[in-house]
Amino acid sequence: MRKLRSVELPRISKEEYLHLDKLPVVVVLDNIRSLLNVGSFFRTSDSFRIERIVLGGFTGSPPHPEIHKSALGAEEVVPWEHQEDILKAVIQLKESGYTLISIEHTSNSLLLNQFVPKLDEKYALIFGNEVRGVQQSIIDASHCAIEIPMSGTKHSLNVSTCGGIVLWHFYQQLLLENKPE
């Protein structure tokens, strides 16, 4: 076995990416303070062909060197919008037929491994602030909450790490396991 060089990896152009079918998932970032985390969400969203990102509240937006540092150009292909009023943004998504899912510990959250997304639904996955999590008003507007099962001394992961795990789950369930042979 040998490690592949970067030039050996299959890549598509930005133009080709823009024409690919996207996963029916919108990522909503609720007051994310770290621009490196925002950039990581762009890069992960590119990898899993997420429909778009909604940057809410004081979440920073491109162009910004700190976002670019971790996004590595993904911020140029993943559609995004900034909404100051994040509650208004998620209500609009709900009215447009998206199932709103807060990624948060709640009194009745579902474990990620127990949640099976449906092929005929659209999802808005809401990730909260690094310290305070998803705002209660957003949780109240959500259809449900999902949490990642953990068994260590900490009760949470870095938000961009959490995003990678949750988005992989949706990508695997909605795209990989439903690809025609």
**Of all residues in the chain, what percent carry a pLDDT higher than 70?**
98
**How confident is the model over 168-180, as a mean pLDDT?**
86
Task: Identify whether 48 is part of a domain.
Answer: yes
This prediction's pTM = 0.95
Identify whether 139 is part of a domain. yes
CATH of the domain at 134: 3.40.1280.10
Q: Establish if 60 belongs to a structural domain.
A: yes
The answer to whether residue 181 is domain-embedded is no
Q: Does 178 have pLDDT greater than 90?
A: no
Query: pLDDT tens digits for 112-140?
Result: 999 999 999 999 999 999 999 999 999 99
Whether the predicted pLDDT of 13 surpasses 70: yes
User: What local confidence, expressed as pLDDT, does residue 177 receive?
Assistant: 75
Question: Does residue 181 surpass a pLDDT of 90?
Answer: no
Q: Tally the domains of the chain.
A: 1
Looking at the domain assignment, is residue 1 inside a domain?
no
Does residue 99 have a pLDDT over 70?
yes
Q: In this predicted model, what pLDDT tens digit does every residue of 104-113 receive, in sequence order?
A: 999 999 999 9
pLDDT of 176? 83
Dist CA 37 CA 160 (whole Å): 5
Evaluate whether residue 11 is within a structural domain.
no
Name the one residue in this structure whose structure tokens are 């976002």: 67
Query: Using 50, 70 and 90 to split pLDDT, how confident is the model at 180?
Result: low
Dist. CA 74–CA 45, nearest whole Å: 8
Token pair recorded at residue 12 = 């598509």
Residue 179 banded pLDDT, cuts 50, 70, 90: low
CB within 8 Å of 18: residues ≥ 6 apart: 77
Q: How far apart are CA 25 and CA 123, in angstroms?
A: 5
With respect to residue 9, please indicate whether it lies within any of the assigned structural domains: no
**What number of other Cβ atoms are within 10 A of residue 109's Cβ?**
18
pLDDT above 90 coverage of the chain, percent = 92
Which domain range does residue 158 map to?
21-175
In a domain, 4, yes or no: no
